[in-house]
Chain A
């Protein structure tokens, strides 16, 4: 008989076993101090090789999905070019929205603070988007170890929303060179069943459209921030609503052409050979297109996809607008009692 020793148990078994997170976007903390001693923001911790992965998709599943696509069918019964139902629900505060796309669920929260502006841009406010995926969405995500999806997502949101100047940063200025609003969008990914990019974009735009800034009056040297009970807060100045639409390329249809599937589930994303994200607003203006690698697709197909995206975005835009309007009506009706008490000018 052969004896092999097992590894020794580690002696420091009383160490706390929680991981220190790192942010995918370390924003400059605005502190009441001249020295940005941000030792409180945490740094990366290095990990060893193995990390939990999603189980590989089986051959039977793959064959089933691709065969179904050949017959123009999708596993959950949708059309090739139809979105899952988008559900939007708002929280008690302004700027908080919960978006569900089937089983995919993303929360977005907007918060604002008054800070000193950047020295090279004294008349603009700042806006940062923070996307940090955690194990809640899927056990294959880890805190502190951004995956490719993390990088792609933050890059796409950056291009779609920040670079396309959807938010007018100059409107966030309070006193030029001294005080501006600094907005922050925090996205929390609660559940991952595919198409996180589109969901995240819809969540951010809806939250921005929902958010209200407190009214500020500047008199000489004094800045007065009026609480929400005194003056009705004002919405942000959004120039347009860019919305991402992601196409996944997988399989072949009956003509042997690659199929462009809209709003892929996690199963379809695992099987796809390429993808393209088009960001359009309701006027049909393309904000960004991104097709990084993947299977080669004819230019004609890509144009068709872009046109389709423009059509879809019109529908999504209307949906967001309706949801915002319904929420406003619900608030004004006094369904939220505490907000009703605050409005002093409602008694006309």
Chain B
């Protein structure tokens, strides 16, 4: 059902020393993430929680040492995992997740990194056998004004989303052009970037949407922004992608492991 250019390259358990690991490569942006999960481990007394497992997420950049951007990424991943992992099954232990950014077009771009990080982490948690309430999947969508120029896109990557709504004035503008899992070049032409993560049941786990149109700022930025109803339609589409295709990707990746 999923066309192959959109399916990420997943390699399960490449690291022999970890409890669970996964290498994930996004096919269109060539971002490669390697995560390893260890747990439940012994926890430091000062981090110990009496009824829950402590989750620790470490994000290591591909170039340079970890800074505030990596701390923010690990904070976002941590808050998503807290609602997925059943921490009351292993209280007073530590579940340690380490994510290494192996390759990225742009090591400083948060939207390009967040989706692969989340997906890779969820897969390696499943491999490690950490008890989870449900699975989730993340997708990165970019909204453009015109179809991407001078960039090759994979089949099925670009689609149109009807705006609909109250005013039906101009039909040419009644559709948004959405690109799924864009690479850096497409993102540079985009108006807004949205990373949405949904669980299998359709619960919203994480939203990171931002305006990213080009411009030199100041008064030229006065008209930017998007409408909330457009966003909701986009989020619904993201939900469909995560709940159907995302879960399908997980199933296929774990098919020979008899996890489900």
Contact = CB atoms under 8 A, between A and B. Distances in A.
Contacts of A37: none
Given A52-B41, A186-B63, A17 B17 contact: no
A13 B52 contact: yes
B57 A136 contact: no
A2 interface: no
B30 A48 contact: no
A48 B44 CA distance: 7
B56 A19 contact: yes
Q: Sorted from nearest, which 4 A-B pairs have the closest CB atoms?
A: A23-B65, A9-B50, A136-B98, A21-B66
22 contacts: A13-B49, A40-B68, A42-B65, A42-B66, A42-B68, A50-B42, A91-B103, A93-B103, A103-B17, A111-B63, A130-B65, A135-B96, A136-B15, A136-B18, A136-B34, A136-B98, A137-B17, A138-B17, A188-B100, A190-B15, A190-B34, A190-B100
B34 to A, nearest CB: 7
Interface stretch (B71-79, B208-216, B223-231, B245-253): B71-79
A135 B38 contact: yes
Nearest to B34: A190
B257 interface: no
Contacts of B46: 47-48
Contacts, number: 118
Main secondary structure of the interface of B (DSSP, over half): mixed
A50 B51 contact: no
A271 interface: no
A107 B17 CA distance: 16
Nearest to A8: B50
A212 interface: no
A58 interface: no
B103 to A, nearest CB: 6
B54 interface: yes
A96 B34 CA distance: 15
A92 B26 CA distance: 14
A19 B49 contact: no
A18 B58 contact: yes
B219 to A, nearest CB: 24
B30 A92 contact: yes
A107 B102 contact: yes
A13 B74 CA distance: 17
A138 B64 CA distance: 21
B218 interface: no
B147 interface: no
A6 B45 CA distance: 13
A336 to B, nearest CB: 11
B16 interface: yes
Interface string A1-43: 0000010011001001111111101100000000000001110
A134 B60 contact: yes
A152 B57 CA distance: 27
B122 interface: no
Contacts of B41: 52, 139
A210 interface: no
Contacts of A240: none
B44 A47 contact: yes
A193 interface: yes
A272 interface: no
Contacts of B64: 111, 130, 184, 186
Nearest to B49: A13
B199 to A, nearest CB: 21
A19 B58 contact: yes
Interface string B96-128: 101010110000000000000000000000000
B62 interface: yes
Nearest to A337: B152
A109 interface: yes
A137 B16 CA distance: 9
B55 interface: yes
B54 A17 contact: yes
Given A18-B56, A52-B42, A137-B17, A9 B103 contact: no
B176 interface: no
Interface string A97-136: 0000001010101010000000000000000001010111
A5 to B, nearest CB: 13
Given A19-B56, A190-B100, A26 B16 contact: no
B60 A188 contact: yes
Given A52-B42, A136-B15, 9 more contacts: A13-B49, A16-B75, A16-B78, A21-B65, A42-B67, A47-B46, A50-B42, A50-B44, A139-B41
B15 A139 contact: no
B18 to A, nearest CB: 7
A189 to B, nearest CB: 9
Contacts of A190: 15, 34, 36, 100
B184 to A, nearest CB: 13
Contacts of B42: 50, 52
A56 to B, nearest CB: 15
A191 B17 contact: yes
A137 B64 CA distance: 18
B65 A41 contact: yes
A191 B78 contact: no
